[in-house]
Structure 1
Amino acid sequence: MPFAVAPDDVALYYEVHGGGERTLVLLAGQANTHHWWDSVRPDFDTFRTITMDWRGTGRSDKPDNDSYSTRGFAADVVTILDHAGAGMADVYGTSMGGRVAQWLAADHPERVGGLVLGCTSPGAPHGIERSEAVRRSLAQRDAAAARRALLELMYSPTWLTTHSGPYGTTGDPDMPEHARRRHLAASASHDSWAVLPSITAPTLVVHGTEDVFNPVANAPLLAGRIPGARLELISGARHAYFEEYRAVASPLVVGFLTAQPPTEVVG
Protein backbone atom coordinates (compact mmCIF):
# COMPACT_ATOMS: atom_id res chain seq x y z
CA MET A 1 0.00 0.00 0.00
CA PRO A 2 1.58 3.31 -1.02
CA PHE A 3 1.95 5.99 1.63
CA ALA A 4 3.63 9.35 1.22
CA VAL A 5 4.87 11.18 4.29
CA ALA A 6 4.24 14.93 4.58
CA PRO A 7 6.86 17.27 6.09
CA ASP A 8 4.98 17.15 9.40
CA ASP A 9 5.29 13.33 9.42
CA VAL A 10 1.64 12.67 8.54
CA ALA A 11 1.31 9.50 6.44
CA LEU A 12 -0.93 9.99 3.39
CA TYR A 13 -2.52 6.99 1.69
CA TYR A 14 -2.98 6.99 -2.08
CA GLU A 15 -3.71 4.60 -4.93
CA VAL A 16 -2.53 4.50 -8.53
CA HIS A 17 -4.59 2.99 -11.34
CA GLY A 18 -4.73 3.10 -15.12
CA GLY A 19 -2.04 2.77 -17.74
CA GLY A 20 -1.80 6.16 -19.37
CA GLU A 21 1.34 8.24 -19.75
CA ARG A 22 -0.42 11.32 -18.37
CA THR A 23 -1.10 11.49 -14.65
CA LEU A 24 -4.52 12.63 -13.42
CA VAL A 25 -5.09 13.41 -9.74
CA LEU A 26 -8.70 12.97 -8.60
CA LEU A 27 -9.56 14.96 -5.46
CA ALA A 28 -12.59 14.05 -3.35
CA GLY A 29 -14.99 16.09 -1.27
CA GLN A 30 -14.86 17.06 2.39
CA ALA A 31 -14.55 14.23 4.95
CA ASN A 32 -14.34 11.66 2.16
CA THR A 33 -11.74 9.13 1.03
CA HIS A 34 -10.52 7.84 -2.33
CA HIS A 35 -13.75 5.80 -2.46
CA TRP A 36 -15.50 9.01 -3.63
CA TRP A 37 -14.22 8.07 -7.10
CA ASP A 38 -14.84 4.30 -7.06
CA SER A 39 -17.82 4.26 -9.41
CA VAL A 40 -16.32 6.55 -12.06
CA ARG A 41 -12.57 6.13 -11.75
CA PRO A 42 -12.43 3.55 -14.58
CA ASP A 43 -13.71 6.28 -16.92
CA PHE A 44 -10.24 7.82 -16.64
CA ASP A 45 -8.13 4.72 -17.29
CA THR A 46 -6.54 6.36 -20.31
CA PHE A 47 -4.65 8.30 -17.62
CA ARG A 48 -2.48 7.12 -14.77
CA THR A 49 -4.90 8.12 -12.00
CA ILE A 50 -4.01 8.97 -8.43
CA THR A 51 -6.69 9.00 -5.73
CA MET A 52 -5.98 9.71 -2.07
CA ASP A 53 -7.33 9.76 1.46
CA TRP A 54 -7.16 13.26 2.91
CA ARG A 55 -5.38 13.59 6.22
CA GLY A 56 -8.06 12.78 8.78
CA THR A 57 -9.76 10.16 6.60
CA GLY A 58 -9.41 6.57 5.49
CA ARG A 59 -5.95 5.04 5.89
CA SER A 60 -4.17 8.39 6.21
CA ASP A 61 -3.07 9.66 9.60
CA LYS A 62 -5.56 11.70 11.60
CA PRO A 63 -3.71 14.27 13.71
CA ASP A 64 -5.72 16.41 16.09
CA ASN A 65 -4.02 19.74 15.39
CA ASP A 66 -4.33 22.84 13.24
CA SER A 67 -2.77 21.30 10.11
CA TYR A 68 -6.12 21.08 8.28
CA SER A 69 -6.75 23.69 5.58
CA THR A 70 -7.53 23.61 1.88
CA ARG A 71 -4.15 25.20 1.18
CA GLY A 72 -2.46 22.64 3.41
CA PHE A 73 -4.29 19.82 1.65
CA ALA A 74 -2.84 21.13 -1.62
CA ALA A 75 0.64 20.76 -0.13
CA ASP A 76 -0.30 17.17 0.78
CA VAL A 77 -1.17 16.53 -2.87
CA VAL A 78 2.30 17.76 -3.87
CA THR A 79 3.82 15.33 -1.34
CA ILE A 80 1.93 12.49 -3.01
CA LEU A 81 2.93 13.63 -6.52
CA ASP A 82 6.55 13.63 -5.41
CA HIS A 83 6.26 10.15 -3.91
CA ALA A 84 4.50 8.83 -7.03
CA GLY A 85 7.18 10.28 -9.31
CA ALA A 86 4.82 12.68 -11.09
CA GLY A 87 6.46 16.02 -11.77
CA MET A 88 3.29 17.42 -13.31
CA ALA A 89 -0.30 16.16 -13.42
CA ASP A 90 -3.73 17.04 -14.64
CA VAL A 91 -6.00 17.76 -11.67
CA TYR A 92 -9.74 17.13 -11.28
CA GLY A 93 -11.13 18.30 -7.96
CA THR A 94 -14.76 18.16 -6.89
CA SER A 95 -16.48 19.90 -3.97
CA MET A 96 -13.81 20.52 -1.29
CA GLY A 97 -11.37 18.81 -3.64
CA GLY A 98 -12.06 21.62 -6.09
CA ARG A 99 -11.16 24.14 -3.42
CA VAL A 100 -7.90 22.30 -2.82
CA ALA A 101 -7.27 22.19 -6.57
CA GLN A 102 -7.54 25.98 -6.75
CA TRP A 103 -4.69 26.32 -4.26
CA LEU A 104 -2.70 23.62 -5.99
CA ALA A 105 -2.89 25.49 -9.30
CA ALA A 106 -2.16 28.87 -7.70
CA ASP A 107 0.67 27.82 -5.37
CA HIS A 108 2.27 25.12 -7.53
CA PRO A 109 1.63 26.07 -11.19
CA GLU A 110 4.55 23.94 -12.36
CA ARG A 111 2.78 20.82 -11.04
CA VAL A 112 -0.60 21.35 -12.77
CA GLY A 113 -1.29 20.68 -16.43
CA GLY A 114 -5.03 20.84 -17.08
CA LEU A 115 -7.38 21.81 -14.25
CA VAL A 116 -11.01 20.78 -13.76
CA LEU A 117 -13.03 22.33 -10.92
CA GLY A 118 -16.29 20.50 -10.23
CA CYS A 119 -19.22 21.54 -7.99
CA THR A 120 -16.98 23.86 -6.02
CA SER A 121 -16.61 27.45 -4.84
CA PRO A 122 -14.09 30.25 -4.28
CA GLY A 123 -15.24 30.31 -0.66
CA ALA A 124 -16.47 33.09 1.54
CA PRO A 125 -16.81 36.02 1.43
CA HIS A 126 -17.09 36.12 -2.38
CA GLY A 127 -18.73 32.74 -2.97
CA ILE A 128 -22.40 31.87 -2.66
CA GLU A 129 -23.09 29.88 0.50
CA ARG A 130 -25.74 27.17 0.85
CA SER A 131 -29.06 28.30 2.26
CA GLU A 132 -30.06 28.12 5.90
CA ALA A 133 -32.73 25.57 4.95
CA VAL A 134 -30.07 23.27 3.51
CA ARG A 135 -27.94 23.71 6.64
CA ARG A 136 -30.89 22.83 8.88
CA SER A 137 -31.69 19.73 6.84
CA LEU A 138 -28.17 18.42 7.42
CA ALA A 139 -28.18 19.28 11.14
CA GLN A 140 -31.28 17.30 12.08
CA ARG A 141 -31.01 15.26 15.27
CA ASP A 142 -32.57 12.30 13.51
CA ALA A 143 -29.49 10.72 11.91
CA ALA A 144 -31.52 8.81 9.34
CA ALA A 145 -33.34 11.97 8.26
CA ALA A 146 -30.08 13.92 8.02
CA ARG A 147 -28.52 11.17 5.91
CA ARG A 148 -31.54 11.14 3.62
CA ALA A 149 -31.28 14.91 3.25
CA LEU A 150 -27.61 14.57 2.28
CA LEU A 151 -28.39 11.89 -0.29
CA GLU A 152 -31.08 14.08 -1.85
CA LEU A 153 -28.60 16.96 -2.09
CA MET A 154 -26.16 14.68 -3.86
CA TYR A 155 -28.53 12.78 -6.17
CA SER A 156 -31.95 13.17 -7.72
CA PRO A 157 -34.87 11.22 -6.19
CA THR A 158 -35.24 9.31 -9.44
CA TRP A 159 -31.63 8.14 -9.33
CA LEU A 160 -31.93 7.15 -5.67
CA THR A 161 -34.86 4.86 -6.41
CA THR A 162 -32.68 2.76 -8.70
CA HIS A 163 -29.36 3.02 -6.84
CA SER A 164 -29.50 1.69 -3.30
CA GLY A 165 -25.83 2.18 -2.49
CA PRO A 166 -23.39 1.85 -0.91
CA TYR A 167 -22.52 5.48 -1.61
CA GLY A 168 -18.92 6.62 -1.72
CA THR A 169 -19.79 10.31 -1.49
CA THR A 170 -21.46 10.63 1.91
CA GLY A 171 -18.39 10.77 4.12
CA ASP A 172 -15.96 8.40 5.79
CA PRO A 173 -18.05 6.57 8.43
CA ASP A 174 -14.94 5.75 10.47
CA MET A 175 -13.60 9.30 10.60
CA PRO A 176 -12.92 10.48 14.16
CA GLU A 177 -14.98 13.42 15.35
CA HIS A 178 -11.98 15.72 15.75
CA ALA A 179 -11.00 15.20 12.12
CA ARG A 180 -14.59 15.68 10.96
CA ARG A 181 -14.74 19.04 12.73
CA ARG A 182 -11.39 20.09 11.31
CA HIS A 183 -12.43 19.16 7.76
CA LEU A 184 -15.57 21.22 8.13
CA ALA A 185 -13.59 24.20 9.39
CA ALA A 186 -11.00 23.84 6.62
CA SER A 187 -13.62 23.87 3.88
CA ALA A 188 -15.63 26.66 5.52
CA SER A 189 -12.60 28.93 5.84
CA HIS A 190 -11.51 28.51 2.22
CA ASP A 191 -10.99 31.80 0.38
CA SER A 192 -9.03 31.66 -2.87
CA TRP A 193 -10.55 34.77 -4.45
CA ALA A 194 -7.36 36.81 -4.46
CA VAL A 195 -5.25 34.12 -6.17
CA LEU A 196 -7.71 32.87 -8.78
CA PRO A 197 -6.54 35.38 -11.45
CA SER A 198 -3.00 34.00 -11.09
CA ILE A 199 -4.01 30.50 -12.23
CA THR A 200 -2.37 29.76 -15.57
CA ALA A 201 -3.49 26.16 -16.11
CA PRO A 202 -6.19 25.63 -18.76
CA THR A 203 -9.31 25.37 -16.63
CA LEU A 204 -12.74 23.77 -17.00
CA VAL A 205 -15.45 24.61 -14.45
CA VAL A 206 -18.28 22.03 -14.21
CA HIS A 207 -21.43 22.21 -12.10
CA GLY A 208 -24.91 20.70 -11.96
CA THR A 209 -27.76 23.14 -12.55
CA GLU A 210 -29.76 21.72 -9.61
CA ASP A 211 -26.93 21.79 -7.07
CA VAL A 212 -28.00 23.63 -3.91
CA PHE A 213 -25.48 21.90 -1.64
CA ASN A 214 -22.79 24.02 -3.30
CA PRO A 215 -24.94 26.50 -5.20
CA VAL A 216 -24.51 26.55 -8.96
CA ALA A 217 -24.05 30.35 -8.86
CA ASN A 218 -20.47 29.66 -7.76
CA ALA A 219 -19.58 28.19 -11.14
CA PRO A 220 -19.72 31.42 -13.19
CA LEU A 221 -17.92 33.23 -10.35
CA LEU A 222 -14.99 30.84 -10.67
CA ALA A 223 -15.02 30.78 -14.45
CA GLY A 224 -15.11 34.55 -14.61
CA ARG A 225 -12.24 34.93 -12.15
CA ILE A 226 -9.80 32.42 -13.71
CA PRO A 227 -8.29 33.66 -16.98
CA GLY A 228 -9.61 31.79 -20.02
CA ALA A 229 -11.66 29.30 -17.99
CA ARG A 230 -14.42 27.37 -19.74
CA LEU A 231 -17.78 26.86 -18.01
CA GLU A 232 -20.03 23.81 -18.50
CA LEU A 233 -23.32 23.32 -16.66
CA ILE A 234 -24.95 19.88 -16.61
CA SER A 235 -28.70 20.24 -16.78
CA GLY A 236 -30.65 18.54 -13.99
CA ALA A 237 -27.60 17.44 -12.02
CA ARG A 238 -27.15 17.84 -8.28
CA HIS A 239 -23.92 17.83 -6.28
CA ALA A 240 -22.72 14.36 -7.32
CA TYR A 241 -23.12 15.20 -11.00
CA PHE A 242 -19.95 13.23 -11.82
CA GLU A 243 -21.61 10.00 -10.72
CA GLU A 244 -25.28 10.36 -11.63
CA TYR A 245 -24.44 12.08 -14.92
CA ARG A 246 -21.19 10.24 -15.59
CA ALA A 247 -22.20 9.56 -19.20
CA VAL A 248 -22.00 13.32 -19.76
CA ALA A 249 -19.44 14.40 -17.20
CA SER A 250 -16.65 11.88 -17.70
CA PRO A 251 -16.34 12.32 -21.49
CA LEU A 252 -16.52 16.08 -20.98
CA VAL A 253 -13.58 16.02 -18.58
CA VAL A 254 -11.53 13.53 -20.59
CA GLY A 255 -12.12 15.49 -23.78
CA PHE A 256 -11.08 18.75 -22.17
CA LEU A 257 -7.91 17.35 -20.62
CA THR A 258 -6.75 15.41 -23.66
CA ALA A 259 -7.19 18.53 -25.80
CA GLN A 260 -4.53 20.25 -23.69
CA PRO A 261 -0.79 19.86 -24.42
CA PRO A 262 0.62 16.72 -22.80
CA THR A 263 1.81 17.04 -19.23
CA GLU A 264 5.17 15.69 -18.17
CA VAL A 265 5.55 11.98 -18.82
CA VAL A 266 6.06 9.87 -15.70
CA GLY A 267 9.51 8.32 -15.29
Structure 2
Amino acid sequence: MAIAEVNGIQLYWERKGEGPPLLFISGTGGDLRKKPNVFDGPLPKSFDVLSYDQRGLGQSEKPSGHPFSMEDYAADAAAMIGEAGWESAHVIGVSFGGMVAQELAIRFPGRVKKLVLACTSPGGEGGASYPFHTIAHLSPEEHARHMIPIADMRHDAAWAKANPEQYEKLVELAAADPYAEEPGHEEGAAAQLAARATHDAWDRLERITAETLICGGKYDGIALPETQNKLKSRIPGAQLQMFDGGHLFLLQDRAAFPAIMKFLAG
Protein backbone atom coordinates (compact mmCIF):
# COMPACT_ATOMS: atom_id res chain seq x y z
CA MET A 1 0.00 0.00 0.00
CA ALA A 2 1.44 3.37 -0.98
CA ILE A 3 0.76 6.84 -2.30
CA ALA A 4 2.29 7.91 -5.61
CA GLU A 5 2.67 11.54 -6.67
CA VAL A 6 2.00 11.51 -10.42
CA ASN A 7 0.84 14.22 -12.81
CA GLY A 8 0.41 16.61 -9.90
CA ILE A 9 -1.98 14.33 -8.01
CA GLN A 10 -1.65 11.72 -5.25
CA LEU A 11 -2.89 8.25 -6.19
CA TYR A 12 -3.36 5.38 -3.76
CA TRP A 13 -2.11 2.03 -5.04
CA GLU A 14 -1.53 -1.56 -3.97
CA ARG A 15 0.64 -4.33 -5.39
CA LYS A 16 0.59 -8.08 -4.89
CA GLY A 17 1.86 -11.28 -6.51
CA GLU A 18 4.81 -12.54 -8.51
CA GLY A 19 5.28 -12.96 -12.24
CA PRO A 20 4.98 -10.74 -15.30
CA PRO A 21 3.91 -7.15 -14.55
CA LEU A 22 0.18 -6.48 -14.81
CA LEU A 23 -1.68 -3.19 -14.39
CA PHE A 24 -5.36 -3.60 -13.50
CA ILE A 25 -7.56 -0.54 -14.15
CA SER A 26 -10.92 -0.66 -12.39
CA GLY A 27 -14.32 0.64 -13.42
CA THR A 28 -16.74 3.39 -12.45
CA GLY A 29 -16.54 4.21 -8.75
CA GLY A 30 -13.63 1.82 -8.20
CA ASP A 31 -12.29 1.80 -4.63
CA LEU A 32 -9.75 -0.76 -3.42
CA ARG A 33 -11.37 -0.73 0.02
CA LYS A 34 -14.41 -2.46 -1.46
CA LYS A 35 -14.22 -6.24 -1.38
CA PRO A 36 -13.75 -8.44 -3.23
CA ASN A 37 -11.29 -6.68 -5.51
CA VAL A 38 -8.63 -7.80 -7.97
CA PHE A 39 -6.27 -8.84 -5.19
CA ASP A 40 -8.79 -11.37 -3.89
CA GLY A 41 -8.92 -13.16 -7.24
CA PRO A 42 -6.55 -15.47 -9.12
CA LEU A 43 -4.41 -12.88 -10.92
CA PRO A 44 -1.78 -12.35 -8.14
CA LYS A 45 -1.06 -16.09 -8.21
CA SER A 46 0.50 -15.72 -11.66
CA PHE A 47 1.26 -12.01 -12.08
CA ASP A 48 2.84 -9.08 -10.28
CA VAL A 49 -0.38 -7.06 -10.06
CA LEU A 50 -0.63 -3.33 -9.45
CA SER A 51 -3.97 -1.55 -9.11
CA TYR A 52 -4.86 1.91 -7.89
CA ASP A 53 -7.76 4.18 -7.02
CA GLN A 54 -8.24 6.53 -9.95
CA ARG A 55 -8.15 10.28 -9.42
CA GLY A 56 -11.13 11.53 -7.45
CA LEU A 57 -11.96 8.07 -6.10
CA GLY A 58 -11.26 5.89 -3.09
CA GLN A 59 -8.17 6.88 -1.15
CA SER A 60 -6.65 8.88 -4.00
CA GLU A 61 -6.67 12.67 -4.04
CA LYS A 62 -9.96 14.34 -4.90
CA PRO A 63 -9.04 17.70 -6.41
CA SER A 64 -11.84 20.16 -7.05
CA GLY A 65 -12.37 23.03 -9.39
CA HIS A 66 -11.43 21.51 -12.75
CA PRO A 67 -12.75 18.69 -14.93
CA PHE A 68 -10.93 15.42 -15.59
CA SER A 69 -10.36 14.18 -19.13
CA MET A 70 -9.84 10.68 -20.46
CA GLU A 71 -6.33 11.87 -21.32
CA ASP A 72 -5.76 12.59 -17.62
CA TYR A 73 -6.84 9.07 -16.63
CA ALA A 74 -4.62 7.52 -19.34
CA ALA A 75 -1.63 9.61 -18.28
CA ASP A 76 -2.17 8.45 -14.69
CA ALA A 77 -2.17 4.81 -15.83
CA ALA A 78 1.05 5.30 -17.78
CA ALA A 79 2.65 7.01 -14.79
CA MET A 80 1.66 4.17 -12.46
CA ILE A 81 3.47 1.69 -14.72
CA GLY A 82 6.58 3.82 -14.33
CA GLU A 83 5.99 4.20 -10.59
CA ALA A 84 6.19 0.41 -10.27
CA GLY A 85 9.61 0.49 -11.94
CA TRP A 86 8.29 -1.17 -15.07
CA GLU A 87 9.07 -0.12 -18.63
CA SER A 88 5.84 -1.75 -19.75
CA ALA A 89 3.15 -4.11 -18.45
CA HIS A 90 0.19 -6.20 -19.44
CA VAL A 91 -2.96 -4.13 -18.94
CA ILE A 92 -6.48 -5.20 -18.00
CA GLY A 93 -9.13 -2.49 -18.13
CA VAL A 94 -12.63 -3.27 -16.87
CA SER A 95 -15.66 -1.15 -17.88
CA PHE A 96 -14.58 2.48 -17.39
CA GLY A 97 -11.09 1.08 -16.86
CA GLY A 98 -11.33 -0.37 -20.36
CA MET A 99 -11.96 3.11 -21.72
CA VAL A 100 -8.86 4.33 -19.88
CA ALA A 101 -6.93 1.33 -21.22
CA GLN A 102 -7.91 2.23 -24.79
CA GLU A 103 -6.53 5.74 -24.33
CA LEU A 104 -3.43 4.33 -22.65
CA ALA A 105 -2.72 1.92 -25.53
CA ILE A 106 -3.29 4.66 -28.12
CA ARG A 107 -1.29 7.42 -26.41
CA PHE A 108 1.42 5.37 -24.70
CA PRO A 109 1.88 2.25 -26.88
CA GLY A 110 5.32 1.50 -25.46
CA ARG A 111 3.81 1.03 -22.00
CA VAL A 112 1.43 -1.79 -22.98
CA LYS A 113 2.49 -5.38 -23.61
CA LYS A 114 -0.80 -7.26 -23.98
CA LEU A 115 -4.16 -5.59 -23.57
CA VAL A 116 -7.43 -6.95 -22.16
CA LEU A 117 -10.57 -4.86 -22.63
CA ALA A 118 -13.39 -6.20 -20.47
CA CYS A 119 -17.07 -5.14 -20.71
CA THR A 120 -16.21 -1.75 -22.17
CA SER A 121 -17.04 0.44 -25.16
CA PRO A 122 -15.17 2.68 -27.61
CA GLY A 123 -17.72 5.48 -27.81
CA GLY A 124 -18.55 7.41 -30.94
CA GLU A 125 -19.87 5.42 -33.87
CA GLY A 126 -18.67 2.23 -32.18
CA GLY A 127 -21.25 2.60 -29.43
CA ALA A 128 -21.12 3.92 -25.88
CA SER A 129 -21.72 2.13 -22.60
CA TYR A 130 -24.87 2.91 -20.62
CA PRO A 131 -24.98 6.67 -19.81
CA PHE A 132 -24.55 6.59 -16.04
CA HIS A 133 -24.38 10.40 -15.91
CA THR A 134 -28.09 10.54 -16.79
CA ILE A 135 -29.12 8.71 -13.62
CA ALA A 136 -26.64 10.25 -11.19
CA HIS A 137 -29.52 12.07 -9.47
CA LEU A 138 -31.16 8.83 -8.29
CA SER A 139 -30.85 7.68 -4.70
CA PRO A 140 -28.58 4.65 -4.16
CA GLU A 141 -31.58 2.32 -3.89
CA GLU A 142 -33.30 3.81 -6.94
CA HIS A 143 -30.05 3.56 -8.87
CA ALA A 144 -29.67 -0.11 -7.89
CA ARG A 145 -33.23 -1.02 -8.90
CA HIS A 146 -32.81 0.81 -12.21
CA MET A 147 -29.50 -0.83 -13.08
CA ILE A 148 -29.99 -4.46 -11.98
CA PRO A 149 -32.00 -5.49 -15.10
CA ILE A 150 -29.55 -3.58 -17.30
CA ALA A 151 -26.34 -4.90 -15.77
CA ASP A 152 -27.64 -8.45 -16.36
CA MET A 153 -30.53 -8.61 -18.80
CA ARG A 154 -31.64 -11.96 -17.35
CA HIS A 155 -32.60 -10.11 -14.15
CA ASP A 156 -35.73 -8.57 -15.60
CA ALA A 157 -39.04 -7.86 -13.83
CA ALA A 158 -40.23 -11.44 -14.23
CA TRP A 159 -37.02 -12.75 -12.66
CA ALA A 160 -37.28 -10.27 -9.78
CA LYS A 161 -40.87 -11.35 -9.10
CA ALA A 162 -39.89 -15.04 -9.15
CA ASN A 163 -36.78 -14.49 -6.97
CA PRO A 164 -37.74 -11.74 -4.50
CA GLU A 165 -35.16 -12.57 -1.82
CA GLN A 166 -32.29 -12.78 -4.29
CA TYR A 167 -33.44 -9.57 -5.96
CA GLU A 168 -33.60 -7.63 -2.70
CA LYS A 169 -30.14 -8.90 -1.78
CA LEU A 170 -28.81 -7.59 -5.10
CA VAL A 171 -30.43 -4.22 -4.38
CA GLU A 172 -28.85 -4.12 -0.93
CA LEU A 173 -25.39 -4.96 -2.27
CA ALA A 174 -25.61 -2.56 -5.22
CA ALA A 175 -26.85 0.35 -3.09
CA ALA A 176 -24.28 -0.01 -0.31
CA ASP A 177 -21.41 2.49 -0.26
CA PRO A 178 -19.85 3.00 3.18
CA TYR A 179 -17.66 5.81 1.84
CA ALA A 180 -20.38 7.93 0.22
CA GLU A 181 -20.17 10.68 2.85
CA GLU A 182 -16.41 11.21 2.59
CA PRO A 183 -15.29 14.74 1.59
CA GLY A 184 -14.92 15.01 -2.18
CA HIS A 185 -16.58 11.66 -2.88
CA GLU A 186 -19.58 13.05 -4.76
CA GLU A 187 -17.54 15.54 -6.78
CA GLY A 188 -14.89 12.96 -7.72
CA ALA A 189 -17.52 10.48 -8.84
CA ALA A 190 -19.25 13.17 -10.91
CA ALA A 191 -15.97 14.12 -12.57
CA GLN A 192 -15.41 10.51 -13.59
CA LEU A 193 -18.92 10.23 -15.03
CA ALA A 194 -18.41 13.45 -17.01
CA ALA A 195 -15.19 12.11 -18.57
CA ARG A 196 -16.88 8.78 -19.26
CA ALA A 197 -19.74 10.52 -21.06
CA THR A 198 -17.38 12.08 -23.62
CA HIS A 199 -15.19 9.01 -24.23
CA ASP A 200 -14.68 8.43 -27.95
CA ALA A 201 -11.72 6.37 -29.15
CA TRP A 202 -13.51 4.84 -32.14
CA ASP A 203 -11.61 6.66 -34.89
CA ARG A 204 -8.26 5.97 -33.19
CA LEU A 205 -8.58 2.28 -32.25
CA GLU A 206 -6.63 1.22 -35.33
CA ARG A 207 -3.58 2.80 -33.70
CA ILE A 208 -3.54 0.14 -30.95
CA THR A 209 -0.54 -2.09 -31.59
CA ALA A 210 -0.71 -4.29 -28.49
CA GLU A 211 -2.04 -7.82 -28.86
CA THR A 212 -5.61 -7.43 -27.61
CA LEU A 213 -8.29 -9.63 -26.07
CA ILE A 214 -11.81 -8.22 -25.89
CA CYS A 215 -14.21 -9.96 -23.53
CA GLY A 216 -17.72 -9.36 -22.32
CA GLY A 217 -20.87 -10.86 -20.88
CA LYS A 218 -23.56 -12.31 -23.12
CA TYR A 219 -26.28 -10.61 -21.05
CA ASP A 220 -24.60 -7.26 -20.44
CA GLY A 221 -26.87 -4.27 -21.08
CA ILE A 222 -24.21 -1.74 -20.02
CA ALA A 223 -21.48 -2.67 -22.52
CA LEU A 224 -23.52 -4.43 -25.16
CA PRO A 225 -22.36 -7.68 -26.83
CA GLU A 226 -22.63 -6.05 -30.27
CA THR A 227 -20.29 -3.32 -29.05
CA GLN A 228 -17.68 -5.95 -28.22
CA ASN A 229 -17.89 -7.16 -31.81
CA LYS A 230 -17.39 -3.60 -33.04
CA LEU A 231 -14.29 -3.25 -30.86
CA LYS A 232 -12.90 -6.46 -32.34
CA SER A 233 -13.51 -5.23 -35.88
CA ARG A 234 -11.61 -2.01 -35.21
CA ILE A 235 -8.51 -3.14 -33.29
CA PRO A 236 -5.97 -4.89 -35.55
CA GLY A 237 -5.73 -8.62 -34.80
CA ALA A 238 -7.99 -8.44 -31.74
CA GLN A 239 -9.51 -11.61 -30.30
CA LEU A 240 -13.01 -11.77 -28.82
CA GLN A 241 -14.40 -14.07 -26.12
CA MET A 242 -17.88 -13.81 -24.63
CA PHE A 243 -18.80 -15.30 -21.26
CA ASP A 244 -21.87 -16.47 -19.39
CA GLY A 245 -22.86 -13.41 -17.42
CA GLY A 246 -23.77 -9.76 -17.46
CA HIS A 247 -21.58 -6.75 -16.71
CA LEU A 248 -20.07 -8.71 -13.80
CA PHE A 249 -19.18 -11.73 -15.94
CA LEU A 250 -15.71 -11.82 -14.37
CA LEU A 251 -17.40 -12.87 -11.14
CA GLN A 252 -20.22 -14.89 -12.74
CA ASP A 253 -18.35 -17.16 -15.14
CA ARG A 254 -15.51 -19.22 -13.67
CA ALA A 255 -14.01 -19.60 -17.15
CA ALA A 256 -13.36 -15.88 -17.54
CA PHE A 257 -10.21 -15.33 -15.49
CA PRO A 258 -8.52 -18.55 -16.72
CA ALA A 259 -9.15 -17.46 -20.32
CA ILE A 260 -7.68 -14.02 -19.66
CA MET A 261 -4.66 -15.49 -17.88
CA LYS A 262 -4.10 -17.94 -20.72
CA PHE A 263 -4.11 -15.05 -23.20
CA LEU A 264 -1.66 -13.02 -21.15
CA ALA A 265 0.67 -15.97 -20.55
CA GLY A 266 0.54 -17.15 -24.15
Residue 26 of structure 1 pairs with residue 24 of structure 2 = yes
Note the C-alpha offset of 1:77: 1.0
Structure 2 distance, partners of 1:232, 1:32, is: 24
Alignment of 1:57-136 (within 5 A): 57-130=57-130
Alignment of 1:228-247 (within 5 A): 228-235=237-244, 237-245=245-253, 247=254
Please, what TM-score do these two structures have when normalized by structure 2?
0.84
Note the C-alpha offset of 1:233: 1.1
Task: Check 1:122–1:151 CA distance in 2 against 1; reply closer, same or farther (3 A cut).
Answer: same
% identical equivalent positions: 31
Note the C-alpha offset of 1:82: 1.4
Structure 1 distance, partners of 2:3, 2:175, is: 22
Task: Check 1:54–1:213 CA distance in 2 against 1; reply closer, same or farther (3 A cut).
Answer: same
Task: Check 1:141–1:104 CA distance in 2 against 1; reply closer, same or farther (3 A cut).
Answer: closer
Please, what TM-score do these two structures have when normalized by structure 1?
0.83
Cα offsets for 1:162-220 (capped at 9, x unmatched): 99588599876346222122111100101111221011100000011111122222101
Structure 1 distance, partners of 2:30, 2:24, is: 12
Q: Which runs of 4+ in 1 moved over 4 A?
A: 138-142, 155-160, 162-172
Note the C-alpha offset of 1:130: 3.5
| Structure with more contact order per residue of length (Cα contacts < 8 Å, sep ≥ 6) | 1
Residue 161 of structure 1 pairs with residue 166 of structure 2 = yes
Task: Check 1:87–1:249 CA distance in 2 against 1; reply closer, same or farther (3 A cut).
Answer: same
Between 28-37 and 42-51, the greater mean CA deviation after superposition? 28-37
Task: Check 1:140–1:10 CA distance in 2 against 1; reply closer, same or farther (3 A cut).
Answer: closer
Alignment of 1:26-65 (within 5 A): 26-35=24-33, 38-41=36-39, 42-45=41-44, 46-65=46-65
User: Given that residues 94 and 119 in structure 2 are in contact (C-alpha distance below 8 angstroms), is that contact kept between their aligned partners in structure 1?
Assistant: yes
Task: Check 1:129–1:90 CA distance in 2 against 1; reply closer, same or farther (3 A cut).
Answer: closer
* 1:34 alignment partner, SS class: coil
One-letter code of the match for 1:231?
A: L
Residue 147 of structure 1 pairs with residue 156 of structure 2 = no
**5+ residue gaps in structure 2?**
none
Note the C-alpha offset of 1:87: 1.1
User: Given that residues 74 and 101 in structure 1 are in contact (C-alpha distance below 8 angstroms), is that contact kept between their aligned partners in structure 2?
Assistant: yes
Task: Check 1:135–1:65 CA distance in 2 against 1; reply closer, same or farther (3 A cut).
Answer: closer
Task: Check 1:243–1:40 CA distance in 2 against 1; reply closer, same or farther (3 A cut).
Answer: farther
The RMSD of aligned alpha carbons is 2.9
Between 177-186 and 39-48, the greater mean CA deviation after superposition? 39-48
Task: Check 1:168–1:144 CA distance in 2 against 1; reply closer, same or farther (3 A cut).
Answer: closer
Structure 2 distance, partners of 1:5, 1:23, is: 20
Alignment of 1:205-244 (within 5 A): 205-235=214-244, 237-244=245-252
User: Given that residues 12 and 55 in structure 1 are in contact (C-alpha distance below 8 angstroms), is that contact kept between their aligned partners in structure 2?
Assistant: yes
Say which of 199, 221, 232 aligns to 1:190.
199
Q: How many equivalent pairs are there?
A: 252
Task: Check 1:54–1:83 CA distance in 2 against 1; reply closer, same or farther (3 A cut).
Answer: same
Give the number of the structure whose residues are more often helix, by fraction. Answer: 2
Cα offsets for 1:133-168 (capped at 9, x unmatched): x988x5674542322333444456589939958859
Structure 2 distance, partners of 1:56, 1:219, is: 28
